[in-house]
Copies of this chain bind each other. A is one copy, B any other.
């Protein structure tokens, strides 16, 4: 994590540990974050928030009734202070199929 990279990849299996996927910034700077959270066989609407410390920064939704797999996606550039924590929070709905196929990525665009 010293290089300011976060990459959570959940392609196979069901082992997306939300607690483990908190990004703690090694240094002050502008970071790019993006996520794709996949809802599987689930008629509920989900809302996923990207959180900086304890505040929601951006949200994404997936709410289709008929679809087996659908992603709630968004991305943002964030000004992050050293030791800020950035993570995903499932604000609404449940992920019955787990976090399979979901991704959460971040990297330092430039230091400040």
A: residues with CB less than 8 A from B are 3, 5-7, 9, 11, 30, 32, 34, 36, 38, 45, 56-61, 63-71, 73-78, 101, 103, 105, 107, 109-110
Contact = CB atoms under 8 A, between A and B. Distances in A.
29 contacts: A3-B110, A5-B77, A5-B109, A7-B77, A9-B57, A9-B76, A11-B57, A32-B107, A36-B75, A45-B68, A58-B101, A60-B101, A61-B68, A61-B71, A63-B69, A63-B70, A64-B67, A64-B70, A65-B67, A66-B66, A71-B74, A73-B73, A74-B101, A75-B75, A75-B103, A76-B103, A77-B105, A77-B107, A107-B109
A53 to B, nearest CB: 15
B65 A36 contact: no
Contacts of A3: 30, 110
Contacts of A70: 61, 63-64
